[in-house]
Amino acid sequence: MKQSQPVRLTMVGGGSWATALVKILSENNVSIKWWLRKSSDAEHIKKFGHNPSYLSDVQINTRKVKVCIKIREAVRDSEFIILAVPAAFIGDALTGLKPEHFAGKWVISAIKGMIPSANQLVTDWVSNQYDVPPERMAVIAGPCHAEEVALEKQSYLTIASPDSDSAKRVADLLRCRFVQTTPVDDIYGIEYAAVMKNIIALACGITRGLGYGDNFQAVLVSNAMQEIRRFVDAVYPKHRDLSGSAYLGDLLVTAYSPFSRNRTFGTLIGRGYTIQSAQAEMNMIAEGYYAVKSIHEINKQFNVDMPITRAVYCILYERASPTAEMNKLKGELM
């Protein structure tokens, strides 16, 4: 039987998650234009079929994937655009694009961070900047480390969009041999929960670095779930079950996995590294570092009780001592 025309999709970002998503999508009938900012990485992929900087063991199918370093060329003629750079750099990555470049396309955020300059969710920011209607927006969520996708370990993604057909279309694109996908409608709740679990993973890392054990971490994570519930219900009230894998599942994987960038960053801080030295030690970005500042700012309007977020904020932005902040927190958890 003749195969239908491939779906035309643009991947924006050259890091680990973009590389993993390209691998997943290449399993399906998708033609991918992959934008990376470094021409040396793009050339290497063209020549050798591997990203030299991230997940370099992943074989890129260059029949389906065309790399490019010009963003306008990358988005031309695409039906879907996936954004997969850290939130702080999305503005840089999309420089030169105007609303007309997004017209009629689906825009999917794979980003789990806040836009630091605007204290906004990525989907809100993209909608405002580029006039993308909410029904054309989706997010990719769920407990899924790029490193395990590279190894084809069974994984699950949740695709959220206010429009159920859009959620389903994107879920179909990302389902493959080793990834199951579920479409849902709670886009903002899931996006906020994904941002907050990074802050909690940072807190878990800090406690590990300070020498706390599993007993304390279990209490920290269960209290964190309630903190996430209070905040998400305040900023975006909706009936939702936070025990689902896009909420609790993602919190658990990030809080416990040695692959987590946020947990690793926190561990370094707990061991006494400065922020600059912890950032220099990691080749990758911990979104929670930026997100905790945005969530702290947003919460000034809502006044939600968030002792864990407050402790991380004070450690990272007010130079508070990790030992003293965790001592304080110890008395507030139950």
Ligand X SMILES: NC(=O)C1=CN([C@@H]2O[C@H](COP(=O)(O)OP(=O)(O)OC[C@H]3O[C@@H](n4cnc5c(N)ncnc54)[C@H](OP(=O)(O)O)[C@@H]3O)[C@@H](O)[C@H]2O)C=CC1
Ligand Y SMILES: O=C(CO)COP(=O)(O)O
Rounded distance, CA 270 to CA 204, Å?
9
CA distances to 36, 141, 218, 222, 225 from 252, in Å: 30, 13, 10, 10, 10
Q: Which stretch binds ligand Y (CB under 6 A): 72-80, 206-214, 215-223, 255-263?
A: 255-263
For 243-292, the three-class secondary structure string (H helix, E strand, C coil) is: CCHHHHHHHHHHHHCCCCHHHHHHHHHHCCCCHHHHHHHCCCCCHHHHHH
Q: Is 262 in the site for ligand Y (CB under 6 A)?
A: yes
Q: Is 38 annotated as a binding residue?
A: yes
Choosing from 66, 153, 197, 238, which is the catalytic residue? 197
Closest approach, Cβ 122 to ligand Y, in A, equals: 14
Closest approach, Cβ 142 to ligand X, in A, equals: 8
55 binds, among ligand Y, ligand X, none (CB under 5 to 8 A by kind): none
Residue 80 β-bridge partners: 9, 106
Q: Is 146 annotated as a binding residue?
A: yes
Q: Which strands make up the sheet holding 30-35, listed edge to edge?
A: 65-68, 30-35, 7-12, 80-83, 106-109, 137-141, 155-160, 179-184
Q: Is 260 annotated as a binding residue?
A: yes
Closest approach, Cβ 224 to ligand X, in A, equals: 17
Rounded distance, CA 58 to CA 45, Å?
11
Q: Is 73 annotated as a binding residue?
A: no
Residues 287 and 295 sit within 8 Å (Cβ to Cβ): no
197 noted as active-site residue: yes
Q: Which is nearer to ligand Y, 71 or 144 (CB)?
A: 144
Q: Is 228 annotated as a binding residue?
A: no
Q: Is 96 annotated as a binding residue?
A: no
Q: Which is nearer to ligand X, 293 or 328 (CB)?
A: 293
- The CB-nearest residue to ligand X is 15
Q: Binding residue for ligand Y (CB under 6 A) from 23, 44, 105, 145? A: 145
Tell which residue, 115, 150, 146, has the closest CA to residue 283. 146
86 binds, among ligand X, ligand Y, none (CB under 5 to 8 A by kind): ligand X
Q: Is 201 in the site for ligand Y (CB under 6 A)?
A: yes
Residues near ligand X (CB under 6 A) are 13-18, 37-38, 53-54, 84-87, 89, 92-93, 110-113, 144-146, 284-285, 287
Rounded distance, CA 50 to CA 252, Å?
30
| Sign of the CA dihedral with 256 first, then 23, 196, and 12 last | positive
120 binds, among ligand Y, ligand X, none (CB under 5 to 8 A by kind): none
201 binds, among ligand X, ligand Y, none (CB under 5 to 8 A by kind): ligand Y
Rounded distance, CA 5 to CA 98, Å?
27
Q: Is 112 in the site for ligand Y (CB under 6 A)?
A: yes
List strand residue ranges (DSSP E) for the chain, in order: 7-12, 30-35, 65-68, 80-83, 106-109, 114-115, 120-121, 137-141, 155-160, 179-184
14 binds, among ligand X, ligand Y, none (CB under 5 to 8 A by kind): ligand X
Q: Which two tokens stand for residue 190?
A: 């899931």
Q: Is 250 in the site for ligand Y (CB under 6 A)?
A: yes
260 binds, among ligand Y, ligand X, none (CB under 5 to 8 A by kind): ligand Y
Footprint on residues 282-301 left by ligand Y (CB under 6 A): 287
- Could you tell me which residues are annotated as the binding site for NADPH? 16-17, 37-38, 54, 112, 146, 261, 285, 287
Site for ligand Y, rule CB under 6 A: 112, 143-145, 198, 201, 250, 253-254, 259-262, 287
Which residues are known to be catalytic? 197
